[in-house]
């Protein structure tokens, strides 16, 4: 048996509520981390996974305290250790890679200094040796020109680079155990795949044990040997990675896996009802009882214990795991999306370009925008009534920018946006009449910020109804109730404030508000990114249902390609504000033809240990689109030469109606798909 | 960077220009003028004419503004009506006295404020924080005329340790002034220190809760080293602007304290000139106090620019 490096025993952490009750964040957690293994801790927000990871370093956040149990490292309990002794373990024996490196690097200190600080604390190297070591570390995490990076401040690096610096900093003390708290969550798909590959390499190269905390089963699947699934502060399932992902024997994990959209499957995944109970609201019995498809009478009053199954080397907290064992192959069934596509085009975007360049005084006087290389350029998309079209691309691809321009929130530099083939929508919001504003509604990414915290749900939904239709009194109330019913929220939600709702419920209110205006087009800006996976599926299903009921057209922006696959009829791939490929989802996903589409789809992480991401291009961050030629020339692995650098590629149209903007002839682009 | 500095300086100059216009127009549209308000019932005939000629009020307003502005730039603010001498000479010693008072308060107040702020933040919700925070809130809420009067009552009248009010000629030397300013300095420093300490406290607490401080702890950085390298530089940056505002307030706004202690500074001059209807002096004071505010804020902005790496490198990214 391999050596155990960290032993968590009956750990409970919690806080005192205002009423003096003890509220548990972690409930009686026990697990072991062995030398050299990578353990994935997965759970949704509020499951206690980050608290657990921090406790493994002997760190408990301000306001929380240890109620019982211990975290044993080298046979001493970290949670009882003095700070002076902890300082010798943190960074040297156990190191942390934080979720958001941009926030976790001290803003006033140079990168080199911050790594040097760790070296000074945890090694006996002399100054010159340390300098060399810094370069070595930065090299190891594959950062270009380490010497110059070391002299920069954190804000001068891109998100992916910051994350790599955080990895280098953690490696500086050559720790035995690395704790990773959602290390790739804020990154682009391609960057995320590259960082994960780097972490895998480091784990193999140094033999370091890792604890990888994430809500993303796709990322967990790529790195872990063993997976711990957490639900409302408890371990509900723990076992070898492959078994858990392929044959989950706990209903929560089973439902979670089913609710994740897959690239290979069109259609909406099944959603899990309800949401995770808040800490302190736990009832007697199984905490998953309310949402469970397999529950029985005894689950309501008795809490199942974590049971170790020798033959599977798995621990599970469920009375019913045996029945799940028989048919738990995750055979994903999806709700096929019905397309109510009509031939009529509802929105024509032609030759649109948008610039973020600041106007100088002369331009302001002449009321013009001068920028020969605008952020977004040459956008031509015709959107049919009842269609769901998705704009995809990495951050900086201009997808949200285009959305803002359609909504009128951002002036275009040129081009025309025509509604219903009749009306040219003015680019300036002030020139749009109330009806222009009504026909296009927006749903934002983060309902916490898009809902006014001082308004009740009733007031929030009433606003568009009053504004556009002048409804009052009883009729207004009736309409609000109908809308709430449509988004599956009960009438009693009317008097609630946003803070009293869960993330999923808030987004439902935002959806209801958008539909209140009876719009023709709804712009969805990353509407599910802030939600937990199990809630995401429910919101996607709701959006689809409403679309079928009302015949609305969706313009859907997301960085999550699997979500886009699930909901959209057509996809437009953007790079650096230029279109690369537009076509039916089926074709774009099954036969990715544009080199950039291949890169994007290759980097998607699936919750399946057998599907590895394909890393085609480097994850360089480009600040600005190139002056001339193809927008993707800087990262393209199939670049032909000067023609790509100098000439804007032509549109090529395939038999299935897929338009691709590339210099490589169609035949060659398609030949690749067969291999 | 350079462009930014030039822009700030230009903006400051524009502010001053607007202030000068407002004070000039303000005194212009008031009924009567400097001579009639000053001469009161004698404001007629030969005497009024003489006054007009002496102040140059017999030319159109815009010409007067231009000649006044040109003079002001060169430090010549005209003639004080009540002091019967050039305003420049009235102002000189007053500015010096105010500077002495302000710098004494600053040198005592700022270090104490920083130390108290940091202590309260680091021992948040513990005994040192509760004790100091209670005292600072008291010091902040008691109006200065009450605290100043109490100081006079206790230290000057009951204990007879220090003079209660300042009875010295305006142009007294620095060392003769020193024992006289102890009480006014305490009165001013109390409020100022309390304000700043609370501001530093909240700023340090905010930084202590940041992810990069948590990261530094998890990196194994010893506590006090972390406080000095990771916390304080980031926490004190926003405090610079508050300190600047406090200094500006000290130089011109401590009217009440100066009056209570009979201190011959700028603040008391404001009151005196207003009650003497000495409009040229009021004008001069307005522009001088405005310049102090503008230049100290400019200095604070520049310091923030220098210290903040984000602004220093000024990389433009979306």
End-to-end CA distance of chain A: 43
Binary contact (B212, A103; C-beta < 8 A): yes
Rg (CA), chain B: 24
* All residues at 6 or more sequence positions from B2 whose CB lies less than 8 Å from its CB, including other chains: none
Asked, for residue A423, whether it belongs to a domain, the answer is: yes
Three-class secondary structure assignment of A463-492: HHHHHHHCCCHHHHHHHHHHHHHHCCCCHH
List, in sequence order, the alpha helices (H) in A20-64.
49-55
CATH code matching the domain that covers B92-313, chosen among 2.40.30.170, 1.10.3660.10, 1.10.3720.10, 3.40.630.30: 1.10.3720.10
Asked, for residue A558, whether it belongs to a domain, the answer is: yes
Q: Which residues pair with A97 in a beta bridge?
A: A180
Asked, for residue A573, whether it belongs to a domain, the answer is: no
Q: Which residues of A touch B213 (CB under 8 A)?
A: 106
Place of tokens 């980050």: A50
Q: Which residues of B touch A117 (CB under 8 A)?
A: 219, 221, 229
Q: Tell me what pLDDT residue A17 has.
A: 81
d(CA A573, CA B72): 64
Tell me which residue of A636, A560, A635, A615 sits closest to A198, measured CA to CA: A615
For A207-224, b/e burial (b = at least 16 CB within 10 A) is ebbbbbbbbbbbbbbbbb
Interface test with A, best of B212, B223, B225 (most A CBs within 10 A): B212
Are residue A129 and residue A66 in the same domain, yes or no?
Answer: no
Angle between helices B87-122 and B174-208 (to 10 degrees): 40
Identify whether the C-beta of residue B215 lies closer than 8 Å to the C-beta of residue A96: yes
Sequence ranges of the domains in chain B:
23-87, 92-313
DSSP calls for A257-287: HHHS--TT--SEEPPPPS-PPPTT---SS-T
A96, A107, A117: residue with CB nearest B221: A117
Whole-model pTM: value is 0.81
Are residue A167 and residue A191 in the same domain, yes or no?
Answer: no
Alpha carbons within 13 A on the beta-carbon side of A282: 22
Residue-number span of the structural domain to which A436 is assigned:
345-568
- Domain stops at, among A153, A174, A195: A174
Q: What is the pLDDT of residues B101-141, one digit of tens each?
A: 888 888 888 899 999 999 999 998 889 999 999 999 888 88
- Domain stops at, among A174, A199, A218: A174
Q: Tell me what pLDDT residue A369 has.
A: 59
Q: Which residues of B touch A59 (CB under 8 A)?
A: 214, 217-218
> What's the domain count of chain A?
4
List, in sequence order, the alpha helices (H) in A349-388.
361-366
Are residue A440 and residue A544 in the same domain, yes or no?
Answer: yes
List, in sequence order, the alpha helices (H) in A517-625.
533-550, 561-567, 585-590, 595-602
A61, A91, A106: residue with CB nearest B220: A91
B221, B307, B310: residue with CB nearest A121: B221
* All residues at 6 or more sequence positions from B75 whose CB lies less than 8 Å from its CB, including other chains: B88
A47: domain CATH number?
Answer: 3.40.50.300
Asked, for residue A252, whether it belongs to a domain, the answer is: yes
Are residue A445 and residue A553 in the same domain, yes or no?
Answer: yes
Interface test with A, best of B214, B218, B310 (most A CBs within 10 A): B218
Are residue A140 and residue A184 in the same domain, yes or no?
Answer: no
d(CA A450, CA B80): 60
Are residue A395 and residue A529 in the same domain, yes or no?
Answer: yes
Asked, for residue A336, whether it belongs to a domain, the answer is: no
* All residues at 6 or more sequence positions from A621 whose CB lies less than 8 Å from its CB, including other chains: A158, A160, A161, A396
Place of tokens 């010159």: A128
Are residue A319 and residue A349 in the same domain, yes or no?
Answer: no
Are residue A322 and residue A408 in the same domain, yes or no?
Answer: no
Alpha carbons within 13 A on the beta-carbon side of A158: 15
Structure tokens that stand for A668 in this block: 């060659």
Asked, for residue A332, whether it belongs to a domain, the answer is: no
Binary contact (B215, A98; C-beta < 8 A): yes
Binary contact (A98, B211; C-beta < 8 A): yes
pLDDT along chain A (675 residues), means of 10: 85 87 88 92 88 92 88 90 90 90 89 93 90 90 84 85 90 91 83 87 89 90 93 91 88 87 82 78 79 82 85 86 68 65 83 77 62 82 92 87 90 88 87 91 89 93 93 92 90 89 89 94 90 86 90 91 90 92 89 86 85 76 79 85 88 86 85 54
Are residue A37 and residue A182 in the same domain, yes or no?
Answer: yes
A88, A98, A108: residue with CB nearest B234: A108
Asked, for residue A577, whether it belongs to a domain, the answer is: no
Are residue A167 and residue A179 in the same domain, yes or no?
Answer: no
Are residue A291 and residue A411 in the same domain, yes or no?
Answer: no
Q: Which residues of A touch B233 (CB under 8 A)?
A: 108
Place of tokens 């000095």: B228
Asked, for residue A339, whether it belongs to a domain, the answer is: no
Of A92-101, B8-17, B26-35, B224-233, give the lowest mean pLDDT range: B26-35
Q: Tell me what pLDDT residue A371 has.
A: 65
Are residue A182 and residue A165 in the same domain, yes or no?
Answer: no
Q: Bigger pLDDT: A438 or B75?
A: A438
* All residues at 6 or more sequence positions from B282 whose CB lies less than 8 Å from its CB, including other chains: B23, B27, B270, B273, B274
- Domain stops at, among A140, A155, A174: A174
d(CA A673, CA A592): 7
CB atoms within 10 A of CB A161: 24
Place of tokens 């996607």: A540
Identify whether the C-beta of residue A163 lies closer than 8 Å to the C-beta of residue A183: yes
Min Cα distance A88 → chain B (Å) is 6
Three-class secondary structure assignment of A281-328: CCCCCCCCHHHCCCCCHHHHHCCCCCEEEHHHCEEECCCCHHHHHHCC
């Amino acid at each position: 048996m391999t050596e155990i490096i960290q032993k968590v025993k009956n750990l409970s952490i919690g806080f005192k509520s205002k009423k003096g009750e003890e509220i548990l964040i972690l409930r009686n957690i026990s697990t072991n981390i062995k030398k050299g293994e990578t353990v994935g801790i997965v759970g949704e927000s509020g499951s206690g996974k980050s608290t657990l990871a921090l406790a493994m370093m002997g760190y408990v956040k301000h306001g929380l305290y240890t109620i019982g149990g211990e975290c044993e490292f080298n046979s001493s309990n970290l949670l009882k250790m003095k700070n002076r002794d902890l300082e010798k373990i943190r960074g040297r024996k156990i190191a942390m890679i934080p979720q958001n490196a941009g926030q976790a690097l001290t803003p006033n200190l140079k990168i080199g200094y911050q790594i040097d600080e760790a070296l000074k604390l945890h090694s006996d190297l002399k100054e010159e040796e340390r300098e060399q070591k810094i370069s070595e570390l930065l090299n190891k995490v594959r950062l270009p020109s380490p010497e110059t990076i070391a002299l920069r401040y954190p804000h001068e690096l891109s998100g992916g680079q910051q994350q790599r610096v955080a990895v280098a900093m953690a490696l500086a003390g050559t720790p035995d155990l690395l704790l990773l708290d959602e290390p790739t969550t804020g990154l682009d798909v391609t960057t995320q795949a590259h960082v994960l590959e780097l972490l895998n390499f480091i784990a193999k190269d140094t033999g370091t044990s890792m604890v990888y905390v994430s809500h993303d089963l796709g990322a967990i699947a790529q790195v872990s040997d063993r997976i711990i699934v957490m639900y409302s502060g408890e371990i509900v399932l723990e076992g070898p990675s492959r078994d858990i992902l392929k044959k989950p024997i706990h209903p929560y994990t089973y439902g979670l896996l089913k609710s994740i959209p897959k690239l290979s499957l069109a259609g909406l995944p099944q959603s899990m009802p309800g949401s995770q109970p808040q800490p302190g609201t736990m009832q007697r019995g199984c905490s998953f009882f309310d949402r469970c498809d397999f529950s029985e009478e005894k689950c309501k009053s008795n809490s199942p214990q974590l049971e170790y199954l020798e033959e599977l080397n798995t621990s599970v907290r469920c009375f019913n795991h045996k029945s799940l064992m028989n048919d738990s192959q995750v055979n994903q069934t999806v709700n096929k999306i019905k397309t109510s596509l009509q031939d009529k085009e509802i929105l024509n975007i032609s030759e649109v370009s948008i610039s973020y360049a600041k106007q100088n005084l002369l331009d302001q006087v002449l009321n013009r925008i001068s920028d020969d290389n605008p952020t977004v350029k040459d956008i031509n998309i015709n959107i049919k009534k009842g269609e769901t079209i998705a704009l995809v691309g990495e951050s900086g691809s201009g997808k949200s920018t285009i959305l803002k321009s359609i909504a009128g929130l951002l002036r275009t530099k040129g081009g025309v946006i025509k509604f219903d083939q009749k009306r040219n929508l003015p680019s300036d919001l002030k020139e749009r009449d109330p009806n222009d504003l009504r026909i296009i509604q927006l749903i934002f990414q983060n309902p916490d910020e898009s809902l006014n915290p001082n308004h009740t749900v009733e007031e929030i939904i009433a606003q568009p109804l009053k504004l556009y239709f002048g409804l009052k009194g009883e009729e207004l109330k009736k309409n609000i109730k109908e809308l709430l019913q449509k988004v599956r929220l009960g009438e009693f939600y009317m008097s609630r404030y946003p803070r009293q709702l869960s993330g999923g419920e808030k987004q439902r209110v935002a959806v209801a508000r958008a539909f209140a205006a009876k719009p023709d087009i709804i712009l969805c800006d990353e509407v599910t990114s802030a939600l937990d996976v199990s809630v995401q599926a429910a919101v996607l299903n709701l959006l689809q249902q409403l679309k079928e009921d009302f015949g609305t057209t969706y313009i859907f922006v997301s960085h999550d390609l699997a979500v886009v696959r699930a909901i959209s009829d057509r996809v437009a791939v953007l790079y650096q504000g230029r279109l690369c490929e537009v076509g039916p989802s089926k074709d774009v996903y099954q036969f990715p033809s544009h080199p950039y589409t291949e890169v994007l789809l290759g980097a998607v992480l699936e919750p399946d240990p057998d599907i590895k991401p394909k890393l085609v291009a480097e994850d360089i961050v480009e600040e600005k689109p190139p002056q001339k030629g193809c927008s993707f020339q800087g990262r393209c692995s199939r670049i032909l030469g000067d023609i790509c650098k100098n000439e804007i590629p032509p549109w090529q149209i395939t038999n299935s109606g897929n338009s691709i903007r590339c210099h490589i002839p169609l035949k060659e682009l398609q030949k690749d798909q067969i291999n | 960077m350079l462009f930014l500095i030039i822009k700030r300086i230009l903006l400051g100059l524009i502010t001053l220009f607007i202030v000068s216009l407002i004070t000039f127009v303000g005194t212009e549209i008031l009924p009567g003028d400097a001579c009639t308000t000053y001469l009161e019932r004698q404001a007629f005939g030969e005497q009024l004419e003489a006054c007009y000629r002496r102040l140059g009020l017999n030319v159109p307003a815009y010409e007067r503004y231009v000649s006044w502005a040109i003079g002001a730039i060169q430090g010549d603010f005209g003639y004080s009506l009540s002091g019967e001498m050039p305003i420049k000479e009235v102002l000189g010693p007053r500015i010096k006295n105010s500077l002495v008072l302000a710098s004494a308060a600053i040198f005592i107040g700022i270090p104490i404020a920083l130390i108290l702020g940091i202590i309260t933040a680091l021992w948040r919700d513990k005994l040192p924080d509760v004790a100091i925070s209670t005292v600072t809130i008291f010091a902040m809420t008691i109006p200065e005329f009450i605290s100043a009067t109490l100081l006079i009552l206790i230290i000057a009248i009951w204990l007879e340790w220090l003079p209660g009010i300042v009875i010295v000629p305006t142009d007294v030397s620095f060392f003769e002034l020193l024992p006289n300013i102890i009480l006014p300095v305490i009165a001013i420093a109390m409020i100022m220190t309390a304000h700043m300490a609370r501001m530093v406290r909240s700023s340090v607490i905010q930084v202590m809760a940041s992810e990069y401080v948590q990261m530094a702890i998890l990196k194994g950085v010893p506590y006090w080293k972390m406080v000095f390298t990771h916390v304080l530089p980031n926490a004190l940056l926003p405090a610079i602007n508050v300190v600047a505002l406090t200094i500006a307030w000290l130089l011109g706004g401590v009217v009440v304290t100066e009056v209570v202690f009979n201190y011959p500074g700028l603040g008391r001059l404001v009151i005196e000139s207003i009650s003497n209807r000495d409009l040229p002096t009021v004008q001069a004071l307005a522009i001088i106090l405005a310049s102090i505010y503008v230049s100290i804020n400019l200095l604070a902005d520049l310091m923030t620019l220098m210290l903040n790496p984000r602004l220093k490198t000024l990389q433009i990214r979306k």
